[in-house]
Structure 1
Amino acid sequence: MAALVKAINTKIRSNAVLDYVCSTHFWGPVSNFGIPVAAVMDTQKSPDLISGKMTLALVIYSATFMRYSLAVTPKNYLLFGCHFINEGAQLTQGYRFLQWHNWGGKEKADLAGAVDASVDKAKELEAKVKSSVSK
């Protein structure tokens, strides 16, 4: 049995592609790609759901691991790409958080809601007036 395992390991290590696919240099970033996928999908959600502290933590985390992925030997470009995408998504979320909470985004949304409600009310009144006039 040990000889079979050794033979399989030798076969895997002799093929560069198989050697890479069977390494942590490949599976670490692949398993980590759930984070940037979720972050990109979250950019479509309402900005009032964003946690500023968590977003800042993820910005620092991704920047740190972008640096780490290029500091190891051999360089791990797949890990770099994973954290590069996450960094962009988290910076986008950070901007959306600041826009919503600090730069008047919440007030603009409230104002837009009030305007829409006023327009709806005006249309209702117009319909009532037209029905009264036609009688």
Structure 2
Amino acid sequence: MAALIKAANAKIRSNPVSNYFLSTHFWGPASNFGIPIAAVLDTQKSPELISGQMTGALVVYAFTFMRYSLAVTPKNYLLFACHFTNAGAQLTQGYRYMNWHYWGGKDKAVPAVAAVPSA
């Protein structure tokens, strides 16, 4: 049985395409794409819900691993794309947080809600 598994593994690893899709170079970034997808979806939610500290931590995380993805050999461009997307989404969230809490976004939203007539 072990010889059969070893032969199947050698056959799979001999093909560069299947070797890539069965490696951590592919599955690591593919599974990590949940973070930027969630961040992009969160841009549609209220800025009241944004945590400034978490957003800052995720920006640092994204830039750190963007650098890491280009420092490893071979370069992992899929991991770079994942963290580039995450950095963009987190920077957007950071802008929304700053706008809401410090640049008058909350004050502008309150009169708009008050101006809506109730039924």
What TM-score comes out, normalization by structure 1 length?
0.85
The equivalent of 2:87 in structure 1 is 87
Q: Which runs of 5+ in 2 are unaligned?
A: none
The equivalent of 2:8 in structure 1 is 8
The equivalent of 2:38 in structure 1 is 38
Deviations 1:101-124 (A, max 9, x none): 0000000000111222xxx27xx8
Which one has the bigger helix percentage?
1
Percent of paired sites with the same residue: 72
The equivalent of 1:28 in structure 2 is 28
Correspondences of 1:1-135 after superposition (within 5 Å): 1-116=1-116, 120=117
Which amino acid letter does the alignment assign opposite residue 43 of structure 2? Answer: T
The equivalent of 1:132 in structure 2 is none
> Based on CA coordinates, which of the two structures has the bigger radius of gyration?
1
SS at match of 1:75: coil
Once residues 115 and 108 of structure 1 are traced to their aligned partners in structure 2, the CA distance between those partners, rounded to angstroms, is 11
- Once the two structures are TM-superposed, the CA of residue 83 in structure 1 deviates from its matched residue by 0.4
Alignment root-mean-square deviation, CA: 1.1
Once residues 3 and 52 of structure 2 are traced to their aligned partners in structure 1, the CA distance between those partners, rounded to angstroms, is 55
Deviations 1:42-63 (A, max 9, x none): 0000000000000000000000
Once residues 56 and 92 of structure 2 are traced to their aligned partners in structure 1, the CA distance between those partners, rounded to angstroms, is 11
Instruction: State the number of aligned residues.
Output: 119
Q: Which runs of 5+ in 1 are unaligned?
A: 125-135
What TM-score comes out, normalization by structure 2 length?
0.97
